[in-house]
Amino acid sequence: MASVVLSEAEKLYIVHGVQEDLRVDGRGCEDYRCAEVETDVVSNTSGSARVKLVETDILVGIKAEMGTPKLEKPDEGYLEFFVDCSSNSPELEGRGGEELGTDIANTLYRVFSCENSVDLKSLCINPKEHCWVLYVDVLLLECGGNIFDAISIAVKAALFNTRIPKVRVLEDDEGTKEIELSDDPYDCIRLSVDEVPCIVTLSKIGYRHVVDATLQEEACSLASLLISVTSKGAITSMKKVGKGSLDPESIFEMMETGQRVGKSLHIALQKILDEEESLGTSRPKVGFLG
């Protein structure tokens, strides 16, 4: 991950600040930065979203395509994640970006591996033969610290925005099945994102942990905990990153903080998404040129 070099005195200043609950930009340990969320930014996708957390910029596009269901789950559709980090910095081009990309993709698979996150049964068209596959493409435009949180927010927003066309299965006289796509472009099914989890990254700095670390704060933290929390506060997966060690007691504290912060994050995100939805087609689209 792109990281920033800091002098020892700067790191000390940051660590002492976290102990006193006053970070460099005036936030407390549990405050998020100002986030901008915009959906439906890419026109030729089934759903898209862009999330900007001051310096971190993520673009997610979802394409719904027809495919065959997996053998072990014949009556469900599935999600595929692809992450691209090459536009971030020269060191992440080619091989370097691939490692980070697969790391993020694997984390997303783990987060969404919980049965109830996305209603996969609604993605089924014909059991064992046809189903919807949602290809989720994540583009890391700028890395300014805390990319996992931003990516999960963008994926949730994009899933909320996804419109999958309705299909009808017609059976011919000979028994062959034909799939008919509905002609009306507005006739589509939407996914319920109530159970979609969001990742909350808690970085351990000194004796305390912070939410939404900037690049400088990440340079001072030796270990972090990635927790995926649903809107009801249920934890679906947990992952520890970093070369430092975590005390079991601090892990419990971090989990509690993660649940608290995750719930309020979901409420705020749902509010923004509902507001955007209510504006309908008349809302001014900022997109990339605004």
Nearer to another protein, 71 or 289 (CB): 289
Residues that bind another protein (CB under 8 A): 5-10, 12-13, 16-17, 19-20, 22-28, 31, 33-34, 54
Residue with tokens 């405050």: 31
Nearer to another protein, 6 or 105 (CB): 6
The token pair that represents 228 in the structure block: 């995926």
CB of 207: closest distance to another protein in angstroms? 13
CB of 179: closest distance to another protein in angstroms? 47
Helix (H/G/I), strand (E/B), else coil: 99: helix
CB of 68: closest distance to another protein in angstroms? 47
**Alpha-carbon span 254 to 201, nearest angstrom:** 9
Nearer to another protein, 21 or 75 (CB): 21
Per-residue DSSP letters for 247-260?
A: -HHHHHHHHHHHHH
Nearer to another protein, 84 or 217 (CB): 217
Residue 271 CB neighbour total at 10 angstroms: 10
Strands 130-142 and 56-67: antiparallel
- The CA-to-CA distance between both ends of the chain, in Å, stands at 28
How many Å is the maximal CA-CA distance in the chain?
79
CB of 20: closest distance to another protein in angstroms? 5
Q: Are 163 and 42 in contact (CB under 8 A)?
A: no
**Alpha-carbon span 66 to 50, nearest angstrom:** 25
Nearer to another protein, 24 or 170 (CB): 24
CB of 77: closest distance to another protein in angstroms? 39
Indicate the helix (H) or strand (E) that contains 153: helix 147-161
Nearer to another protein, 216 or 224 (CB): 216
CB of 64: closest distance to another protein in angstroms? 34
